[in-house]
Structure 1
Amino acid sequence: MKLRFLIILTSSLLFVGAGAVNQGSEDGNSKEGSKKVETCAACHGKEGNSLVGLWPSLAGQNAKYLFKQLRLFKSGERENASMAGFLDELSDEDLKDIAAFYASKKNTIGQTEKDKVGLGRKLYYAGNIQKGVPACSACHSPRGLGNGPAAYPLLSGQQPDYVKKALKDYRSGERSNEDPSKIMVAIAYKLDDSEIEALSSFVHGLH
């Protein structure tokens, strides 16, 4: 019964949220975007590859997902003190251009800690049937490239400290406004600290 439930849930995750952002959200101009990211570079790196663990890398990120997150930050629906005020004067066109700029860049791949490979790989590709946790690869792809049309983010090479914090924020409910169906909240709630640590390290080296 659990296996059947997990298969149904995993399949449904491929389609939930695909219409959450306007279809034109990924149609920004990367060249124009390059003129609008000077402030962003201080935290996210000149080419979008962050050098600080708690700040996410944006290089190669799916434009539709990134545009959605930028709009949430601007509206205040997703709260983050570090982002406060930076987007207030930017239009949707500006946000699309910024998203397009980062989407056009190549992400840097890190290295998974050896003691995290086994559990991280198992959770990412097979989930945890006993706990009702679906495989991450169902939505984020086997190589961690995400799903652009569905606005599911790229995870490959992402900073482990950022992923760890994101999963813990989902688990606590602190980060819950971006998805009405609360898919990640439901999944993260079932993950313990060791599983979050393993997944965070695994995706850092995933490619």
Structure 2
Amino acid sequence: MRHARSYALVGLTALVIGAVAFAQTTVAPLEEAEPVETLPLESVDALAELAKTVPGNAQNGATLAGTCAACHGLDGKSTIPEVYPNIGGQSERYLAEQLALFKSGERQNAIMQPFASMLSAQDMRDVGAHFAHQPSSAGIADDTEVAEGTYAGMKFYEIGEQLFRRGDFAREIPACMACHGPTGAGNPGPAYPHVGGQQSWYTARRLQEYRTGTTTARDTANFDVMASIARQLTDEEIGALSSYMQGLHTRPDAAMLAAIAKMPPAPPAPAAPAPAPVDAAPEGAAPEGEAPVEDVPAAAPEADAQQAS
């Protein structure tokens, strides 16, 4: 009987230990939690954050721009011109705004968005300041003669030159230089971009995006202007305009250098007159700036000692 009680006690103990072990190794199901709502990328108003920043620090921007250098070069000259645009010489404000649009998702680019998302608004100003201090690029325009069509006989870039400098009054197309400047250097104040020396393929793509409405429309005033112009341009005109802007730069061209070489030399400067001779001072006269010294009479000789009487 005593043995039976012992066996029962051992069995009960084993059962308890097994139950505890089972409880420790079994995961109790939890109530299903609601999914965490992440902030949509589009709701990040990065442009509004730029308004809280100060002018960019180019030195800090140079450090941050190390990531950009793989594609755009540390000096803003594209490492692969057929793939990436030049950004050297671009205005600080324009670059910062574009980075903000990439970060918010309003301007779509699979490469740019991850990099822009890591930058604060002040970082964007700093990066923009760095590249704004770099020299802009200079390209070559296509001077192939157009064989047929409306512009037959003109060189390809001349079509673009005509639109860039004069526009087209009949189609209400303003001259591009009215906003982007005669050399394509842009206008930093309203953030009109620098377009001179930019690769023609990139400028053409941007004009096509405006024409189809597939680019950012946050700034409706500027977007509407560019979209209304691009919609009236033919593919040939977009190509020619982009080619002409690729050849724009601020450096003097051969014609300007030749004109400078033909300029007559400046006349030599007249020789300086010889200094007037200085007259010698008359004898006894005091040097200039000194008071005359009066003659002092010589002292009388001392009397001889009296002789003894």
Contact 1:63 1:100 in 2 (8 A): yes
Which is helix-richer, 1 or 2?
1
Give the secondary-structure state (helix, strand or coil) at the position aligned to 2:114: coil
2:133 aligned residue: 104
Please, what is the CA RMSD of the aligned residues?
A: 1.8
Q: Is the 8 A contact 1:145 1:153 kept in 2?
A: yes
Q: Map of 1:69-80 to 2, 5 A cutoff?
A: 69-80=98-109
Which stretch of the first structure deviates more once superposed, 77-86 or 166-175? 77-86
Mapped contact 2:59–2:130 kept (Cα < 8 A): yes
Q: CA deviation at 1:24?
A: 7.5
1:198 to 226, 234, 240: 240
Report 1:1-207 matches (<5 A).
27-50=55-78, 51-115=80-144, 116-181=156-221, 182=223, 183-207=225-249
Shift of 1:117: 2.1
Distance (Å, rounded) in 1 between the aligned partners of 2:193 and 2:54: 13
User: Matches of 1:46 and 1:176 in 2, distance apart?
Assistant: 26
Where does residue 9 of structure 2 map in the other structure? none
Compute the displacement of 1:130 (Å): 1.9
How far off is 1:21 after superposition?
9.6
Contact 1:25 1:67 in 2 (8 A): no
Instruction: Name structure 2 gaps, 5 residues minimum.
Output: 1-47, 145-155, 250-309
Q: Deviations over 1:56-114 (max 9, x none)?
A: 21100011111111111111111112212111121111111100000000012001011
Contact 2:106–2:216 at 8 Å: present in 1 too?
Answer: no
Q: Which has the higher contact order (CA 8 A, sep 6+)?
A: 1
Q: Give the superposition deviation at 1:25.
A: 6.2
| One-letter identity of the residue aligned with 1:42 | A
Counterpart residue type for residue 109 of structure 1: A
Aligned CA distance change for structure 1 residues 23 and 87 (closer, same or farther; 3 Å): closer
Contact 2:49/2:121 (<8 A) preserved: no
Confirm or deny: 8 A CA contact 1:163 1:200 kept in the other structure: yes
The secondary structure found in structure 1 opposite 2:117 is: coil
Inter-CA distance 40–200: structure 2 relative to 1 (3 Å threshold)? same
Residue 22 of structure 1: CA displacement? 5.9
Partner of 2:270: none
TM-score, length basis structure 2: 0.58
- Aligned positions, number: 188
Aligned residues of 1:53 and 1:160 also touching (Cα < 8 A):
no
**Secondary structure at 2:116's aligned position in 1?**
coil
Distance 2:112 2:141 in 1: 28
